[in-house]
Structure 1
């Protein structure tokens, strides 16, 4: 077997990279260890920056996004019993769109298969060579080798791609809290996201569709999810979203629940010889800033441009600059996600002094146009260059 670019991982990063390369006449094979049903139904949130929606639309996979995506022009910071709207579009001229990552994957799988793309599910990568590039994988009881010009490791935090890069420098932070997230069959109680800071902990009200709500609670990292009944979850959410004007939280049947740990992680460099890392294989952000999927899209957009230049002109200039170009954006997103996380969550080890500083920072963001603009600019996403 041979192709130009071997892509490990059939999530949004790997599928979008394959699609973008196809549009430029570059061949690829996508190797995904899970089956198609699992990949297309893996529950993931989706808050899309303006640049991400632009990439999807411009590449021809934005039709359903435009029909079903929920465009948001602002968000609410809620603390001290009151809400404070950050008018993102007024401040930046840009917006965000709620459209689940699950749906993006479905759209990309359908498009790649319709275009005759080679997407191999249940293909487990067991070895790779970044110097004389090739990927060895198991599929259907056989072990096969895929020779290629370049390898893209889009296989997530626990994938094999990053382990093949020698001499990695890694930076990480573990947070003393996690998110208990639920999906509920109930129309959202708000038209825009609510980020709530409360003495009992952080809460987030998000939207999945006009009839489905996505909500989160700050909990301990070692929390037992079995201890959280539906009633307890709704009671706690109501307490953290409470306002002095009597705002009401709608309740409904909970269809999915999970606990997600909070971490920041970056691995440098994002290239070794002919192997390039993208998305969660190279970096993780806490979900507070909604940057994970958007960083993956940014990575593969940059990589697709670099590979296109290489095949069109023979120049490797953009490939040589890939890691530095990605990491500039990654570290900006890491800082913003860290800032949002520490701004809104209750650190159980924080002193009374630190908690007063946190409240002061919230009040500053809610009352200062300059501070609100900084939040809005980072939240809607810096332009893809």
Structure 2
């Protein structure tokens, strides 16, 4: 098989890139080691920056998002028994969209299928080759038969554990990582959200987050030690704990119910540099991970796709390598700003016993300053809605 761009990974970044390329008349093939149902069964975040919303529209897959997504003009910070609202719309003139990543992925898959795009699922031993030269290719096995895809470029949209970053280990790749000493215990439940906007809570017992997927489905989280196991937490225990960490009026208004999904996610920050190795590019989680505080993971993947798509469009439309040559530096500049923001929100809202009383007092002072300074709130709002591409 021959294509112009071979995309490894059928998650949001791979699908979004594939749709943009197809719309621009650039031939592409998506290949994934798992099947469609497995990908759609994964529960992920769902707060979209304005840039990500625009990318979905450019891909021709934004219709259902606009019909069912929830526009949020702000969010609340809860601390010291009170709530302070960050007015995103008032401070920045823009908002965010709450729309589940699973639904976004489904929309992109459906649009690709309707457009006749080629996606290969259940591909084993996917391996990129010869990306240092001008004739890269991918090999894979399916149904006991070995296959090869020749291409001009390879986009590694295959996540942290995929073959793309593994293929560039030892080729000048440098990684940066911070592991946080706790995780998020999260549940998904078919109950109405406790508030029409998200609530981020800093409490003596630990961080909590009230979020949502729709007007009838809620997603809640609490900070827990890394040693905790999901099996230790019954639904009742979770509901009791999150209510302890919220203001009394919020706790009283919370509707509880059986969980659909329950899991503990460790928190870490990770960046790989560079993101380009010859004709292979790292995109999304293949090149970086952020803690979920601030909702930057999916949005960073979208901005990576933006920069890579611009580079590929320039190559095929203008025969220019300028955008491709600039991809890594442009993407990493925005990635590190988002990493900084996610780190700062994580440090601001979670409890860090190892930091002692001094660290706790500094955190309290930061929250107090934030609630009284429009300049500080504007900086937070600008980062939350997303820095420009």
Q: For this structure pair, what is the TM-score category when the shorter chain's length is used for normalisation?
A: over 0.9
Residue 256 of structure 1 corresponds to: 261
Residue 341 of structure 1 corresponds to: 346
TM-score using structure 1 length? 0.98
SS of 1:334's partner is helix
Structure 1: give runs of 5+ residues left out of the alignment.
Answer: none
Q: Does 1:204 align with 2:209?
A: yes
Deviates more, 1:131-140 or 1:87-96: 131-140
In the superposition, relative to structure 1, how do residues 198 and 3 fare at CA in structure 2: closer, same or farther (>3 Å)?
same
Alpha-carbon distance, 1:123 to partner: 1.4
Residue 127 of structure 1 corresponds to: 127
Deviates more, 1:335-344 or 1:252-261: 252-261
Residue 41 of structure 1 corresponds to: 41
Residue 266 of structure 1 corresponds to: 271
Alpha-carbon distance, 1:125 to partner: 4.0
Alpha-carbon distance, 1:200 to partner: 0.2
Which aligned pairs between 1:37-116 and structure 2 lie closer than 5 A? 37-116=37-116
Residue 150 of structure 2 corresponds to: 147
Residue 231 of structure 1 corresponds to: 236
Query: Contact conserved, 1:134 with 1:145, CA < 8 A, in 2?
Result: yes
CA distance in 1, matches of 2:250, 2:193: 18
In the superposition, relative to structure 1, how do residues 245 and 174 fare at CA in structure 2: closer, same or farther (>3 Å)?
closer
Alpha-carbon distance, 1:245 to partner: 8.4
Alpha-carbon distance, 1:383 to partner: 1.7
Structure 2: give runs of 5+ residues left out of the alignment.
Answer: none
CA distance in 2, matches of 1:321, 1:304: 12
CA distance in 2, matches of 1:342, 1:124: 40
Alpha-carbon distance, 1:3 to partner: 0.4
Alpha-carbon distance, 1:252 to partner: 1.5
Alpha-carbon distance, 1:367 to partner: 1.3
Report the number of matched residues: 384
Query: Contact conserved, 1:201 with 1:345, CA < 8 A, in 2?
Result: yes
Deviates more, 1:334-343 or 1:253-262: 253-262
Once the two structures are superposed, residues 8-51 of structure 1 have per-residue CA deviations (whole angstroms, 9 ceiling, x without a partner) of: 00000001100000011000000011111111221111110011
Once the two structures are superposed, residues 248-268 of structure 1 have per-residue CA deviations (whole angstroms, 9 ceiling, x without a partner) of: 322112111000000000000
Q: Does 1:320 align with 2:310?
A: no
Query: Contact conserved, 1:82 with 1:243, CA < 8 A, in 2?
Result: no
SS of 1:210's partner is coil
Alpha-carbon distance, 1:126 to partner: 3.3
SS of 1:321's partner is helix
Query: Contact conserved, 2:230 with 2:263, CA < 8 A, in 1?
Result: yes
SS of 2:55's partner is helix
Residue 190 of structure 2 corresponds to: 185
Q: Does 1:371 align with 2:369?
A: no
Alpha-carbon distance, 1:59 to partner: 2.7
Q: Does 1:303 align with 2:308?
A: yes
TM-score using structure 2 length? 0.97
Quote the RMSD (CA, aligned, Å).
Answer: 1.1
In the superposition, relative to structure 1, how do residues 246 and 151 fare at CA in structure 2: closer, same or farther (>3 Å)?
closer
Query: Contact conserved, 1:125 with 1:135, CA < 8 A, in 2?
Result: no
Once the two structures are superposed, residues 331-364 of structure 1 have per-residue CA deviations (whole angstroms, 9 ceiling, x without a partner) of: 0000000000000000121210110100010111
SS of 2:377's partner is helix
Query: Contact conserved, 1:73 with 1:88, CA < 8 A, in 2?
Result: yes
